[in-house]
Amino acid sequence: MRLALFDLDGTLLPTDSDHAFGEFMVAIGWADGAQWRARNDAFYADYQAGRLDLDAYVDFATSAWRTRAEAEALAARERFMREVIAPQLHPRAHELVRRHRDAGELVAIVTATNEFVTAPIAAAFGVEHLIAVQLERDGDGRVTGRVRGVPSFREGKVRRVDDWLAALGHRWADFERVSFYSDSTNDLPLLERASDPVATNPTPALAAIAQERGWRTLHLFE
């Protein structure tokens, strides 16, 4: 067996879906423009610099929509997919995922963006298995703004993949090869765990590490 894992933002998408969803909240009037955009940009800069406070970000990022009726939030997400994400779904990214899937490999997207934003994106790529940041819900099923369980972020991605494989009755040793595609140094723990790490549309920092370690580099959007 073979396993193929994909980061999402910056890897399969040429944009960051979490940050873009925040921008969309501003565009539809669910968040204050100037104040929200400044905080959203600051959190994104922290992510790129490897110092993101994920708990604080999830609380902030979900605050614009979590008090809305579920049907209203889902309708906004559908519009976000149609207007923002669909134009970013590049054929080469689709083909990369399809090639691994058609080869009979077990395929998953492993992302630090929350499950609400990313579930329809994974579906658009035809990927059944999504490992994303899980959102805690209260007794009435409402999102609280807190993370549930281990977040799929940095070292947590390795832990979440371990748990997901165990739930399927597998472990890392079952796989002859494990590929992981990512653009970010935030994903170094999982890149180092994979037998076939691929620096995909890499940041300058990851490109330097990939060159030093002899990892394959892939550019999907050039």
Distance CA 35, CA 48 (A): 20
Side-chain half-sphere exposure of 99, counting CA atoms within 13 A = 8
Annotated catalytic residue, options 9, 18, 183, 187: 9
83-106 burial code (b ≥16 CB/10 A, e <16): ebbeeeeeeebeebbeebbeeebb
Q: Would residue 41 show up in a list of annotated catalytic residues for this protein?
A: no
Q: In angstroms, what CA-CA distances link 39 with 31, 32, 46, 63, 66?
A: 11, 11, 11, 12, 18
- Cα 99 from chain centroid (whole Å): 20
Distance CA 73, CA 207 (A): 38
CB 151: neighbour CB atoms within 10 A? 20
Annotated catalytic residue, options 7, 18, 183, 187: 7
SS3 216: strand
**Contact of 112 with 133, CB cutoff 8 Å:** yes
Q: Would residue 9 show up in a list of annotated catalytic residues for this protein?
A: yes
Give me the active site residues, please: 7, 9
